[in-house]
Amino acid sequence: MKDVLRFLLTEAPDSPALDSVEAWWRRHLAVLPRFPAPADLALASGFRADRLGFAFASGYHAALRSLFPPLPADRRVALCATESGGGHPTAIETTLTPAGAGWTLDGTKTYVTLGTHAELLLVVATEGRDAQGRNRLRMVVVDATKPGVRVEPLPPLGFVPEVPHAALRLEGVAVAPEDVLPGDGYTRYLRPFRTVEDCHVNLAVLGWLVKVGRRCGWPVALREELVANAVLIRALSQEDPSDPGVHVALGGALAQMHRALERCETAWEGVDVETREKWQRDRRVLDLAAKVRVKRLESARQKLAGGTGED
């Protein structure tokens, strides 16, 4: 922890502008040898980003590295879950079908973050229903250049437009047995990713805000509050993302971060116009999946009170 804290507090806060996803990725990889732990990588690469969109991209990728540590750190990865019916387990219709010694993968994903630049795709697929009628999900690693894989760029969003998204079509994609990851695709990967992503994306955003604050002379107390919030979320990122106590604590940490952002409003008046306008445009990314967060927090509270809660 002390190394990344020193980095946030002493590293030069000036970063040259990034003009492409490739440039962002090169800068992200440049930080990796110094900070291999995903949470520290999120903080440091967020600090090195020149805008919120690329800080978000670094946090997203650090989250994937945290949840899937065996994947190669130098290859861009994208999680492919959302379909026309959404990202809930019951909505997954992409199929994983036995074929000889392996499998074939067929289906469509409607929204894949960084999909146009991903080298490896983490695809959530169904093996069918169990005796209780529940979708039996698996997580499959697919090379984006395989035959049958088609990536279709989507129009830029109205915020963080630098971060590309894509639709994904899979038609008879051959899958080797070793590319089907062990364990249940929902409980072991998809469900915890929501928490892991919240931690790492917000760490990257905090790293970027500390850089902006240092560069633009924000009050010391405000900058130190952002650093303290980062320390709290980093600690939570090391815990079990399925534990209800972690969800409750993370809910409190994110509420604390929201209050800190409100206190930053006056400080933004001293930031250059371009950076300030991008922040005002892009801060909506922090509200993505807000309803899911609220449900997760309420479910965690119910579980801690002795109830069952809902996933």
Instruction: Please report, for the chain, the start and end positions of each structural domain, with discontinuous segments joined by +.
Output: 2-67+188-304, 77-180
- The pLDDT score that the predictor gives to residue 130 is 87
SS3 106: strand
- The pLDDT score that the predictor gives to residue 133 is 83
List, in order, residues 6 or more apart from 270 with CB less than 8 Å away. 216, 217, 218
The two tokens of residue 31 are 């930080």
Which residue do the tokens 């922040």 mark? 279
Task: In whole angstroms, give the CA distance from residue 109 to residue 124.
Answer: 9
Q: Tell me the β-bridge partners of 169.
A: 108, 150
Q: Which CATH superfamily is domain 77-180 in?
A: Butyryl-CoA Dehydrogenase, subunit A, domain 2 (2.40.110.10)
Instruction: Give long-range contacts, CB 8 A cutoff, 24+ apart: 300-306.
Output: 300/244, 300/245, 300/247, 300/248, 300/251, 301/244, 301/248, 303/244, 304/244, 304/245, 304/248
In this prediction the pTM is 0.95
Show the beta-strand stretches assigned E in 114-227. 120-129, 135-143, 149-153, 165-175
- The pLDDT score that the predictor gives to residue 177 is 95
- The pLDDT score that the predictor gives to residue 310 is 61
pLDDT in 10s for each residue of the chain, 311 residues: 899 999 999 999 988 899 999 999 999 999 999 999 999 999 999 999 999 999 999 999 999 999 999 999 999 999 999 999 988 889 999 999 999 999 999 999 999 999 999 999 999 999 999 888 889 999 999 999 999 999 999 999 999 999 999 999 999 999 999 999 999 999 999 999 999 999 999 999 999 999 999 999 999 999 999 999 999 999 999 999 999 999 999 999 999 999 999 999 999 999 999 999 999 999 999 998 888 899 999 999 999 998 766 65
- The pLDDT score that the predictor gives to residue 309 is 64
Closest by CA to 119, choosing from 83, 147, 146, is 146
- The pLDDT score that the predictor gives to residue 311 is 59
Task: In whole angstroms, give the CA distance from residue 103 to residue 182.
Answer: 14
